[in-house]
Structure 1
């Protein structure tokens, strides 16, 4: 890896461990083994480096979501099992994503880039699910974000894959009953 990649890796680590507000230039430099001037040379500022790190972490998260999609006939429970396994096995990635979500309202540039990333994620999910970018991919991405937040806050009480699927089924049944009335 080169200096920019080392800085980005260090920034992602700091975001996951310390959050945006508590990450300092000194933290990034200590982890990356680079010098102070390298941040400004390669990224213009600490904020630009952290924004790039959050964008890359979000891209990495999209790849994790796509990896969780089962092959063959769609199995929603298998998908959620894959997601919760990723939450457990790659907590640093998901913490960095929560930091990015929390920082987005304060940075128009970051918000725009995250919105582009979400659009790509919806398109890729739609291709995997049904071939069109419709309600399924939007709903699934929304559920992933909500599940992620629950796992970051209280993983011991976040729903299991089975609980989530059964809950969605119960909501769907309730909706069907209301439509029949």
Structure 2
């Protein structure tokens, strides 16, 4: 790896260990085995490097919790949306113990958006891409085939993900399970108690 890649990996480690606000350029240099001038040369600023590192961490997390096609066929109906929804949430929730640092980092980053316009700009495009990925992973909606449906389903899934994340951070014992979320969605769709 060259300095550019070393810096990025070092920044990722620092974000997970120290968070966004407490990570200094010197921390990144120490974690990456590079020098201070490398940050400016390769990324322009510490903030640009941290923004990219954060985006890559969340993308890597998303890749780990993606349900491979065909693994949500428990009902005997291939690709049944509620089965895929439950399977996707099982992956997300099962990842929680290893992903707590990422979820904590996400909450910190959201709290910084009002004071860091560059961070907000850096997240806008990837947030939209993430919505489409959530729609495809959680309910099997292809953004290429049905972009509007993928957009609104992605908005719904993203809102749900943020809420579930907070509940798991506050109290794992009462946080929703994948089955709870599936039963809740089913009850909403049916318009009556389950």
> TM-score band, normalised by the shorter chain?
0.7 to 0.9
Local SS of the residue matching 1:68: coil
- Aligned residues of 1:68 and 1:80 also touching (Cα < 8 A): no
Query: Is 1:168 the counterpart of 2:185 in the alignment?
Result: yes
Q: TM-score, normalised by structure 1?
A: 0.79
- Aligned residues of 2:51 and 2:122 also touching (Cα < 8 A): no
- Aligned residues of 2:14 and 2:23 also touching (Cα < 8 A): yes
- CA distance in structure 1 between the partners assigned to 2:132 and 2:26 by the alignment: 39
- Aligned residues of 2:113 and 2:119 also touching (Cα < 8 A): yes
Change (3 A) 1:139 1:100: same
- Aligned residues of 2:12 and 2:53 also touching (Cα < 8 A): yes
Query: Is 1:99 the counterpart of 2:124 in the alignment?
Result: no
**Which structure's relative contact order is higher, taking Cα pairs within 8 Å and 6+ residues apart?**
1
By how many angstroms is 1:127 displaced? Answer: 4.6
The structure with the greater share of residues assigned to helix is 1
Structure 1 window deviating more from structure 2 (93-102 vs 1-10): it is 93-102
5+ residue gaps, structure 2, are: 71-77
Query: Is 1:130 the counterpart of 2:129 in the alignment?
Result: no
Question: What does residue range 46-61 of structure 1 map to in structure 2 within 5 Å?
Answer: 46-61=46-61
Match of 2:5 in 1: 5
Q: TM-score, normalised by structure 2?
A: 0.75
Match of 2:119 in 1: 110
Match of 1:14 in 2: 14
Per-residue CA deviations over 1:90-142 (Å, capped at 9, x if unaligned) read 44444443333333333223223322112112233445523323232221122
- Aligned residues of 2:87 and 2:178 also touching (Cα < 8 A): yes
Match of 1:158 in 2: 175
- CA distance in structure 2 between the partners assigned to 1:33 and 1:160 by the alignment: 42
Query: Is 1:78 the counterpart of 2:77 in the alignment?
Result: no
Per-residue CA deviations over 1:137-177 (Å, capped at 9, x if unaligned) read 2211221222223333433432221222223334444xx25
> RMSD of the alignment, in Å?
2.5
